[in-house]
Amino acid sequence: MRMIRLERIYPALAQVQPSLADLQPAIAPVSVPSGVMLFEENAPCLGFPLVLEGEIKVSRSSSDGRSLELYRVVPGELCLVSSACLFRTQPLSAHGVTTRPSKLLLIPPDLFNRWLETPAFRNEVLGLFAERMADLTGLIDAVAFQRLDQRLAAVLLGRGTHLALTHQALADELGTVREIVSRLLRRFEREDWVELAREHIHIRNSAALRAVAAGLPA
């Protein structure tokens, strides 16, 4: 991948020293299939991932095996969990999995710390903290103060009318168990808001779901 394309995705890289051009071929993009665990909770951070293609889903697991999605990283964005780990030299607090075939650059910890001396890159990373903290605050509000049926209705919206989703995938995204999601979906089906099939959900009444998501009578 040419450096000019990298700098288009991550403009701050144009100013870091040593540059990626100086570091090739020691640091080069790697292709990763969908569904690969890139980093795990409580493991040391082996580097700072830059997403060039694809997507990483970052989640946190509970002791009973449930998982709550925190955010996703796409090209041009940075991973909050990885940067926090490198700042504090502590184990990772979440895990990251590719959701589609991806191409990544893994920046070694010592190089990441050197790049932080470049104001443009440091500002990029600190700006990430501000954006991700706003996202996580919204997630905390949803988990703590919204009913699960509101959150489920919100997750179903904005994906079109035909969703290729399993109940387990929805449970993972909401940080709950499959049985509760299945119960709520059956209730939505009885109200004629959705139609359920194997690993498929058809939205029949998006207006009603929007009302539920907003906490209003459907």
- Secondary structure (3-state) at 85: helix
pLDDT at 97 over 90: yes
Q: What is the pTM of this model?
A: 0.67
18-34 mean pLDDT? 85
The alpha carbon of 166 is separated from its chain's Cα centroid by a whole number of angstroms, namely 18
Q: Tokens for 101, please give them.
A: 């075939």
40-59 mean pLDDT? 93
Q: Which pLDDT does position 217 carry in this prediction?
A: 75
Alpha-carbon distance values, 174 to 67, 68, 70, 100, 148 (Å): 8, 6, 10, 20, 8
Q: Which pLDDT does position 141 carry in this prediction?
A: 67
Mean pLDDT of the chain, nearest integer: 87
Distance separating alpha carbons of residues 13 and 23, to the nearest angstrom: 13
- For 148-190, what is each residue's pLDDT tens digit? 899 899 999 988 889 998 999 898 888 788 888 998 999 999 9
- Structural contact between residues 113 and 69, judged by C-beta atoms closer than 8 angstroms: no
